């Protein structure tokens, strides 16, 4: 792994440690305890064997046993507590990892949320099966640190053996230092062979995991289709079950083939690693036995030194394996780093919004043009319009004419490409963004109602003013339904988290979204197809109470139904990113142009 790879990993761990340092601390302590505990047992065992071989009495031997068992028990208990704590952290590491990702998602420029490459980046980070990327990396670092401490401890224990064996002893054993050097060279050679084999098979496993990642993504997609009723309507009515079954069967066969390939690769890897380890163990025990026969080390030393060398080779093999496995996850860490490092392109202003008692604001689009990032097509072209607070404005036009983009620019979800938008004569980019957002209460066409209590959905927060919330529901035409609910504002929407939750219809959810906009009590009320999910009677109810709903606020109303725009004082007709007509319904109906064309096309449905 390169320095850049390690940097990516440490950047991710830095984000993790901001709120969860205990996870890193427990990982380090667990690694040290797990690495050292076997050496304590090995050394005490060697000392016990030497004491018994020297003819020590039972009391002394029992003291050795008591000290050994007590020490090992205490270390095992501490290791057990740390393991439990660390594993508990790993179990909900997906949620821990999601914290910085979600914070970034909520603060990043809106344009990133509509960027497919950013979506793919986030999906790659989360597309890792049962464990999150953070859990995988933390687990790898735990094993790497444990292996490193094991290697260090083994070197400290084994060095005396090589020091002693470097001194000539009895006849026939002259040059034993040469044998020590030869053993060391052979052990290092076997470690290198193990490293090469591990690197080869780990590379194969990484390739197979990449194949499995794509299969898992497709599997999740297919399973999502069956998780709810909405997607199954098309599946059943279009008789696509056979197509779905065929696709899923092919995917299942592919997953099985890939899993079998992974099993074969892992088996070969384990067999090769075990074979090398067995050969290493034979050489080490043979050499230690020769040293014991030559009187260079004690019988207990054979156990201590041989076990330590084997721990050394085992740790080196683990280090190689985990480093390779960790390297296979670096690509996901790179996506994490890129996602978290997405720059803020939108200018952050600092001018506070003017606090006006009369709520009077003027808005001006001054030669505004806009094209979406990565596109060369102007969705809005040299648009110049002006309007005041208190007006009721409708925006109409064909699909793709720029209506919704106009609202996104006004709400500053995107910044203009050319020109500027002014509120009270000041470029909106100079205003404090949070205060600027307070000007708008918006009901988007793809509005969202969440699985929270009804009151929290209306208030968009946990602090709910009951009187205001009920008033907003009444004005949105949801009052009667609300009064039928047994739990009132505390009624949970949907049954995802509460068995007693209530499932609302699409039209009722849209009324809740409208109530949320009313509750906010902002100077601008923007509604993008606010009655699309309503039946004609409910739609008429909303139109009839529209003045009561918005009061003296500026209301901007986007609709494909031109009849619903008749109550508006000002109608903007969009076509290819420009306002091609503007006026009242009566005026536009009499003029030759797009409005009359659209009106005539729909007029047969208004009779």
Model pLDDT, residue 420: 94
Least confident of 91-95, 247-251, 374-378: 91-95
Length of the chain measured in residues: 607
Q: Which of 491, 539, 496 is nearest to 514 (CA)?
A: 539
Model pLDDT, residue 243: 74
Q: What's the pLDDT band for 172 if we cut at 50, 70, 90?
A: very low
List pLDDT tens digits, range 194-213: 777 777 877 787 778 777 76
Q: Which two tokens stand for residue 82?
A: 């740390």
Model pLDDT, residue 417: 92
- Mean pLDDT (whole number) for 238-259: 79
| Residue 381 confidence (pLDDT) above 90 | yes
| Residue 539 confidence (pLDDT) above 70 | no
Q: What is the DSSP string of 48-95?
A: HHHHHHTT--HHHHHHHHHHHHHHHHHHHHHHHHHHHHHHHHHHTHHH
Mean pLDDT is highest, among 74-88, 295-309, 458-472, for: 458-472
Q: Which two tokens stand for residue 393?
A: 């404005």
**Sequence ranges of the domains in the chain:** 3-209+276-340, 347-438+573-607
- Mean pLDDT (whole number) for 168-175: 44
What is the C-alpha separation between 188 and 182, in angstroms, rounded? 10
| Chain centre to alpha carbon of residue 368 | 36
Q: Which of 377, 418, 385 is nearest to 401 (CA)?
A: 377
Model pLDDT, residue 445: 78
What is the C-alpha separation between 493 and 396, in angstroms, rounded? 33
Model pLDDT, residue 171: 42
Cβ atoms of residues 144 and 327 within 8 Å: no
Q: What's the pLDDT band for 604 if we cut at 50, 70, 90?
A: low
Model pLDDT, residue 370: 94
| Residue 356 confidence (pLDDT) above 80 | no
| Residue 311 confidence (pLDDT) above 70 | yes
Cβ atoms of residues 478 and 512 within 8 Å: yes
What is the C-alpha separation between 226 and 235, in angstroms, rounded? 9
What is the C-alpha separation between 72 and 78, in angstroms, rounded? 10
Model pLDDT, residue 568: 79
Q: What's the pLDDT band for 365 if we cut at 50, 70, 90?
A: very high
If one compares 481 and 290, the residue with the highest pLDDT of the two is: 481
Phi and psi at residue 69, to the nearest 5° = -65, -45
Mean pLDDT is highest, among 131-135, 267-271, 509-513, 529-533, for: 509-513
Model pLDDT, residue 418: 93
Q: In what order do the strands lie in the sheet with 362-370?
A: 380-388, 362-370, 418-423, 426-427
| Residue 576 confidence (pLDDT) above 80 | yes
Quick one: CA dihedral 15, 21, 27, 29, positive or negative? positive
- Other Cβ atoms less than 10 A from the Cβ of 10: the count is 15
Q: What's the pLDDT band for 170 if we cut at 50, 70, 90?
A: very low
Model pLDDT, residue 382: 92
Model pLDDT, residue 143: 85
Mean pLDDT is highest, among 21-25, 220-224, 430-434, for: 430-434
Model pLDDT, residue 95: 66
If one compares 469 and 506, the residue with the highest pLDDT of the two is: 469
Cβ atoms of residues 67 and 75 within 8 Å: no
**Which residue matches tokens 């659209």?**
598
Q: Which two tokens stand for residue 286?
A: 């043979």
Q: Which two tokens stand for residue 134?
A: 């953070």
Question: Checking phi first, is residue 538 left (phi over 0); if not, alpha (psi -120 to 50) or beta?
Answer: alpha
Cβ atoms of residues 389 and 553 within 8 Å: yes
Q: Which of 262, 255, 254, 309 is nearest to 281 (CA)?
A: 309
Cβ atoms of residues 126 and 335 within 8 Å: no
Cβ atoms of residues 333 and 12 within 8 Å: yes
Phi and psi at residue 54, to the nearest 5° = -85, -5
Model pLDDT, residue 340: 83
If one compares 531 and 212, the residue with the highest pLDDT of the two is: 212
**Helix axis angle, 466-475 relative to 506-520, nearest 10°?**
130
Residue 370: beta bridge partners? 380
**Which residue matches tokens 């009566």?**
586
Q: Which of 107, 145, 114 is nearest to 26 (CA)?
A: 145
What is the C-alpha separation between 541 and 557, in angstroms, rounded? 16
Contacts of 278 (CB under 8 A, 6+ apart): none
**Helices and strands, counts by H and E, the chain:** 21, 10
**Which residue matches tokens 């030393």?**
301
What is the C-alpha separation between 93 and 13, in angstroms, rounded? 12
Residue 557: beta bridge partners? 394, 527
**Helix axis angle, 21-53 relative to 133-164, nearest 10°?**
30
Q: What's the pLDDT band for 389 if we cut at 50, 70, 90?
A: low
Same fold, 3-209+276-340 and 347-438+573-607: no
- Mean pLDDT (whole number) for 543-554: 69
Phi and psi at residue 370, to the nearest 5° = -150, 135
Q: What's the pLDDT band for 173 if we cut at 50, 70, 90?
A: very low
Count the helix, strand and coil residues of the chain and give each as a percent rounded to the nearest 5: 65, 10, 25
Q: In what order do the strands lie in the sheet with 578-583?
A: 440-443, 524-528, 554-558, 392-397, 570-575, 578-583
- Mean pLDDT (whole number) for 591-597: 88
What is the C-alpha separation between 138 and 90, in angstroms, rounded? 8
If one compares 174 and 29, the residue with the highest pLDDT of the two is: 29
DSSP 221: H
List pLDDT tens digits, range 263-287: 888 888 888 877 877 787 777 777 7
Give me the percent of the chain exceeding a pLDDT of 90.
9
Predicted structure pTM score: 0.66
What is the C-alpha separation between 89 and 263, in angstroms, rounded? 28
Least confident of 48-57, 147-156, 363-372: 48-57
Mean pLDDT is highest, among 11-20, 91-100, 330-339, for: 330-339
Q: What is the DSSP string of 464-523?
A: --HHHHHHHHHHTT-HHHHHT-TTGGGPBBSSSS-TT-B---HHHHHHHHHHHHHHHT-S
- Mean pLDDT (whole number) for 465-487: 88
| Residue 244 confidence (pLDDT) above 90 | no
Please give, one letter per residue, the 3-state secondary structure of 103-168.
Answer: HHHHHCCHHHHCCHHHHHHHHHHHCCCCCCHHHHHHHHHHHHHHHHHHHHHHHHHHHHHHHHCCCC
- Could you say which of 1.20.1560.10, 3.80.30.10, 3.90.79.10, 2.120.10.30 is the CATH number of the domain covering 3-209+276-340? 1.20.1560.10
List pLDDT tens digits, range 494-525: 887 777 888 888 888 888 988 998 888 888 88
Q: What's the pLDDT band for 127 if we cut at 50, 70, 90?
A: low
Least confident of 143-152, 292-301, 339-348, 464-473: 292-301
Between the CA of residue 176 and those of 180, 287, 354, 431, 535, what are the distances in Å? Answer: 6, 10, 90, 82, 96
Model pLDDT, residue 416: 93
CATH number of 347-438+573-607: 3.40.50.300
């Amino acid at each position: 792994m390169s320095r850049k790879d390690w940097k990516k990993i440490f950047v991710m761990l830095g984000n993790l440690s901001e709120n969860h340092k205990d996870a890193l601390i427990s990982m380090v302590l667990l690694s040290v305890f797990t690495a050292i505990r076997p050496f304590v047992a090995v050394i005490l065992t060697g000392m016990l064997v030497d004491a018994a071989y020297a003819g020590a009495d039972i009391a002394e031997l029992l003291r050795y046993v008591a000290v050994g068992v007590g020490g090992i028990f205490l270390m095992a208990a501490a290791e057990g507590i740390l393991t439990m704590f660390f594993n508990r952290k790993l179990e909900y590491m997906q949620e821990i990892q999601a914290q910085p990702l979600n914070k970034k998602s909520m603060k990043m420029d809106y344009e990133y949320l509509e960027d497919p490459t950013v979506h793919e980046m986030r999906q790659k980070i989360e597309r890792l099966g049962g464990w999150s990327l953070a859990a995988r990396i933390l687990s790898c670092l735990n094993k790497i640190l444990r292996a490193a401490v094991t290697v260090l401890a083994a070197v400290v224990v084994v060095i005396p053996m090589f020091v002693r064996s470097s001194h000539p002893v009895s006849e026939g054993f002259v040059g034993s230092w040469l044998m020590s050097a030869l053993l060391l060279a052979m052990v290092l050679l076997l470690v290198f062979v193990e490293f090469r084999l591990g690197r080869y098979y780990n590379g194969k496993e990484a390739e197979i995991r990449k194949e499995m990642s794509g299969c898992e993504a497709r599997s999740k997609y297919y399973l999502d289709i069956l998780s709810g009723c909405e997607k199954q309507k098309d599946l059943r009515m279009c008789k696509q079950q056979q197509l779905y079954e065929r696709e899923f069967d092919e995917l299942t066969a592919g997953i099985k083939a890939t899993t079998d390939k992974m099993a074969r690769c892992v088996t070969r890897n384990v067999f090769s690693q075990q074979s090398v380890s067995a050969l290493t163990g034979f050489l080490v025990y043979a050499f230690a036995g020769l040293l014991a026969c030559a009187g260079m080390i004690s019988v207990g030393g054979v156990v201590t030194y041989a076990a330590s060398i084997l721990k050394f080779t085992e740790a080196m093999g683990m280090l190689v394996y985990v480093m390779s496995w960790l390297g296979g996850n670096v690509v996901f860490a790179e996506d994490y780093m890129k996602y978290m490092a997405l720059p803020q392109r939108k200018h952050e202003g600092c001018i506070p919004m003017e606090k006006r008692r009369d709520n009077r604001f003027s808005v001006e689009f001054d030669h505004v043009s806009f094209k979406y990032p990565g596109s060369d097509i102007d969705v809005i072209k040299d648009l110049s319009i002006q309007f005041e607070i208190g007006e009721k404005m409708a925006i109409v036009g064909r699909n793709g004419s720029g209506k919704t983009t106009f609202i996104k620019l006004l709400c500053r979800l995107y910044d203009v490409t050319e020109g500027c938008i002014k509120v009270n004569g000041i470029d909106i980019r100079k205003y404090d963004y949070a205060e600027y957002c307070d000007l708008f209460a918006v009901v988007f066409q793809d509005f969202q109602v969440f699985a929270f209590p009804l009151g929290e959905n209306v208030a968009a927060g946990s602090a709910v003013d009951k009187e205001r919330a009920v008033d907003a529901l009444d004005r949105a035409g949801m009052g009667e339904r609300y009064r039928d609910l047994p739990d009132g504002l505390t009624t949970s929407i949907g049954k995802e988290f509460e068995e007693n939750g209530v499932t609302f219809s699409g039209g009722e959810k849209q009324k809740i979204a409208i109530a949320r906009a009313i509750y906010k009590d902002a100077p601008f009320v923007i509604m993008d197809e606010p009655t699309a999910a309503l039946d004609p009677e409910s739609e008429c109810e909303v139109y009839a109470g529209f003045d009561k709903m918005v009061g003296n606020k500026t209301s901007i109303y986007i609709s494909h139904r031109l009849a619903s725009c008749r109550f508006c004082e000002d109608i903007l007709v969009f076509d290819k990113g420009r306002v091609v007509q503007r006026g009242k319904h009566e005026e536009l109906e009499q003029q030759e142009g797009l409005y009359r064309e659209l009106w005539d096309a729909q007029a047969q449905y208004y009779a």
